[in-house]
Structures are given as C-alpha cells and as structure tokens.
Amino acid sequence: MSLLVSLIVGLIAGWLAGLFVKGRGFGLVGDTIVGLVGGLIGGLLFGLLGLESSGLVGSILISFVGAVVLLAIAKVFKTA
C-alpha cells in the first residue's frame, strides 16, 4: 500500500473510531495517528485469529477495529 493510501485509511479509521469510542475525534493529525497505530494493532489481532481481508474497505475495517481497541485501552489508563 502506498504512503498516501495508508494515511487516508488511517485518517478514516481514526475518525470513525473517535466517533465510536469518545463521540469526537482528535483532529486531523491525531485521528491519523490513532488510525495508523490501530492498523498495526488490528493487523496483529486479525492475524492471531487467523482472519484476513483485502482491499481498501478491508484495510479500513482492520484499522478501525485496532483503533477502537487502542482508544479503549487509552481510556482505561486515562481514568486510572
């Protein structure tokens, strides 16, 4: 995947995860970072479960799941 496509996927996934978990995002840069790190986490989780997907929508879905997990973990540490 090209860098531009990865950034777009990260932005979309981070924005969706921000809406899903907190009800608001972290701005353009924050959402992109959350989405990109979420893509790594989602890829690991899906790999451990033996699941895979392909294409742009699949990449967004995996990144979204990972970003939601990342935000949930961050929320736990923030309240502690």
Average of pLDDT values for 72-77? 79
Structure tokens, 36: 């990109």
Specify the pLDDT at position 11: 87
Structure tokens, 2: 């090209």
Specify the pLDDT at position 76: 78
pLDDT digit string, tens, across residues 15-73 = 888 888 865 667 777 778 888 888 888 888 888 999 888 888 988 898 899 988 888 88
Specify the pLDDT at position 48: 92
Specify the pLDDT at position 49: 92
Residues 6+ apart with CB under 8 A from 15: 25, 31, 35
DSSP state of 24: S
Residues 6+ apart with CB under 8 A from 32: 7, 10, 11, 14
